[in-house]
Amino acid sequence: MENINAVITGVGGYVPDYILTNDEISKMVDTTDEWIMGRIGIKERRILKDEGLGTSYIARKAVKQLIKRTHTNPDDIDLVIVATTTPDYRFPSTASILCERLELKRAFAFDIQAVCSGFLYALETGANFIRSGNYKKVVVVGAEKMSSIINYTDRATCPIFGDGGAAVMLEPTTEDLGIMDAVLRTDGKGLPFLHIKAGGSVCTPSYYSLDNQMHYIYQEGRTVFKYAVSNMADACESIIARNHLSKDNIDWVIPHQANQRIITAVTQRLEVPAEKVMVNIERYGNTSAGTLPLCLWDFEDKFKKGDNLILTAFGAGFAWGAIYIKWGYDGKNR
């Protein structure tokens, strides 16, 4: 029996219309465009402003485009995995809401929460459902409404994050293409440095937690930066060694879009030239689980069938990893 692998057969994405600029942020907190560009590399980010809309709206827009682009019958979709840290509700899952809104009659669906590494974790999970031989069409989404957990009086975090998301279709292939290898890690060291203090079962919502702004992201940037660079680079180096790749036959490195200086440090350590590194942080900011699929969506027409891609991310937990993909189609033809 031939080996079955999972290949990406299409991408769909969505970013909200509203653009939050650095100039606008500099009116909220003591910062400047020069400081934000120099320290983080972000010029603008998209914000979902409409009342009553959450992450499922972003995911729905992305998956709707994906279904259209891949000419997929919604009744043929077997599974939907949504990577998000900003679900519409504590429960039910955002994935279940997505199924109802898109009238996916046959799919089962669940959310994955690994913060900025969520899409990597979800992609490898979806690929294994395909490899089992029991599933033919799996939709993997990374989507976030990060603005819902940002304190816009906190200078340390409010310039960093934006809203948006994208989705990929995974299907079986017997060609030498698809999700080839994954190195995924979690160590639990990150709790003190990157978290939301209240709203979970340890610290439930109260007047105290609201008054003390404990429902927003807290980040110790320097510590996170150090761990992000070393762990993302280590994961990529493991993938490169295990698959006998070299900087010459890697076509694209797609890093999590958290900070331009992290991206530069990781790719310099890998000795990959800047022109092979996909970066759109300047326009979208950090959309957490959304950054990697948004890069695939943004740069799809640059990919050629058989291209070697390395995706890497690092997030709260700490959770990190890298995935090696052999791209499945010529993006320009889409």
> Annotated catalytic residue: which of 116, 158, 236, 295?
116
- Using alpha carbons, select from 168, 144, 167, 149 the residue that is nearest to residue 55: 144
Task: Say whether 71 is catalytic.
Answer: no
CB count within 10 Å of CB 170 equals 29
Q: Nearest-CA neighbor of 5 among 324, 331, 333?
A: 324
Closest among 142, 184, 139 to 8, alpha carbons compared: 139
236 is an active site residue: no
Please answer whether residues 314 and 115 qualify as being in contact, where contact means their C-beta atoms are separated by less than 8 angstroms. no
- Which one is catalytic: 256, 259, 295, 308? 256
Annotated catalytic residue within 5, 22, 231, 286: 286
Catalytic annotation present for 116? yes
Longest CA span, the chain: 63
Task: Give the residue carrying structure tokens 């390395």.
Answer: 310
Counting every residue, how long is the chain? 334
Q: DSSP label at 286? A: B
On whether the CB atoms of residues 303 and 330 are closer than 8 A, the answer is: yes
Residues labelled as active-site residues = 116, 256, 286
